[in-house]
């Protein structure tokens, strides 16, 4: 296997003095989608934020050979990292166009690509992002990351709150993006994971409990149950209610 694009070794992260990421180590290969999985509150988001230096962190991290654990966030991003945050975090008082303009790092941003991918938000260029619907905000957030050429994408729950059809489209877009850029993806929707992920890293209580090929986890009911707490994941369209007693 070639050099990983991101190498995380012994990462610790703190929020307000509290340890939320503990000694996490994993690699993100230079191609394809690596999924970061785990139940609510295990520290997935915190891991991504630690990588970007958005929370207090320590440990060894290399992005394509460059050491980044001491770098300020903006420098890391300038190395070619795209980030889609968990709670969308669009700038509510700025218009959609301004949100996108702010995100443009490259000399030749891929505006047409974005327009093709999300025609709806293109039509709403002049609207203040704060007044967008939840799903529309999610699209802006994704678009901000996809508008540049990146060496790595960090994507945190991109399908949260999206209509099923849009979920498909986003998955499609990520799949397309993954052809040229490696992605570290946090996702709850197993359907999406199945479709995209090649490798998985599972967190529990702030630690890594499983790493391996996606199929190693997803084809093994037992592991799914153990690591993700889900009973019946083979058919994501079965009613959730039906699977509980």
38 in contact with ligand ATP (CB under 6 A): yes
119 in contact with other proteins (CB under 8 A): no
103 in contact with ligand ATP (CB under 6 A): no
Give the count of beta carbons closer than 10 Å to the beta carbon of residue 21.
Answer: 30
CB of 174 to ligand ATP, least distance (A): 18
- Which residue's entry shows tokens 């993700």? 228
- Where residue 74 falls (left for φ over 0; alpha for ψ -120 to 50; beta otherwise) is alpha
Residue (62 or 101) nearer to other proteins, CB: 101
Q: Which does 46 bind (CB under 5 to 8 A by kind): ligand ATP, other proteins, Mg ion, none?
A: ligand ATP
Quote the CA–CA distance of 30 and 126 in Å, as a whole number. Answer: 37
* 3-state helix vs strand vs coil in the chain, percent to 5: 35, 25, 35
Stretch in the footprint of other proteins (CB under 8 A) among 21-29, 56-64, 167-175, 199-207: 167-175
Helices (H) and strands (E) in the chain, counts: 10, 10
Quote the CA–CA distance of 242 and 9 in Å, as a whole number. Answer: 41
Stretch in the footprint of other proteins (CB under 8 A) among 24-32, 59-67, 183-191, 206-214: 183-191
What residues between 137 and 196 interact with ligand ATP by CB under 6 A? none
User: Which positions touch ligand ATP (CB under 6 A)?
Assistant: 15-16, 18, 20, 38, 40-46, 86, 127, 131-136
User: Which positions touch Mg ion (CB under 5 A)?
Assistant: 44-45, 86, 134
């Amino acid at each position: 296997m070639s050099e990983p694009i991101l190498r995380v070794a012994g990462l610790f992260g703190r929020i307000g003095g509290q340890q939320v990421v503990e000694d996490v180590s994993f690699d993100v290969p230079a191609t394809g989608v690596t999924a970061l999985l785990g139940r609510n509150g295990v520290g997935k988001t915190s891991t991504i934020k630690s990588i970007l230096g958005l929370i207090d962190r320590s440990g060894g991290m290399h992005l394509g050979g460059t050491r980044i654990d001491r770098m300020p966030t903006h420098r890391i991003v300038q190395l070619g990292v795209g980030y889609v945050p968990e709670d969308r975090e669009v700038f509510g008082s700025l218009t959609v166009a301004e949100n996108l303009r702010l995100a443009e790092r490259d000399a030749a941003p891929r505006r047409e690509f974005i327009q093709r991918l999300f025609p709806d938000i293109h039509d709403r260029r002049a609207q203040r992002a704060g007044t967008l619907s939840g799903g529309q905000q999610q699209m802006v957030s994704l678009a901000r990351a996809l508008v540049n050429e990146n060496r790595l994408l960090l994507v945190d729950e991109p399908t949260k709150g999206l209509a099923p059809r849009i979920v498909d489209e986003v998955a499609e877009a990520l799949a397309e993006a993954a052809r040229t850029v490696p992605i570290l993806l946090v996702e709850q929707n197993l359907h999406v994971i199945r479709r995209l992920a090649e490798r998985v890293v599972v967190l529990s209580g702030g630690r890594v409990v499983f790493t391996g090929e996606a199929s190693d986890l997803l084809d093994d009911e037992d592991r799914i149950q153990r690591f993700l707490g889900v009973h019946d994941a083979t058919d994501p369209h079965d009613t959730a209610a039906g699977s509980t007693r």
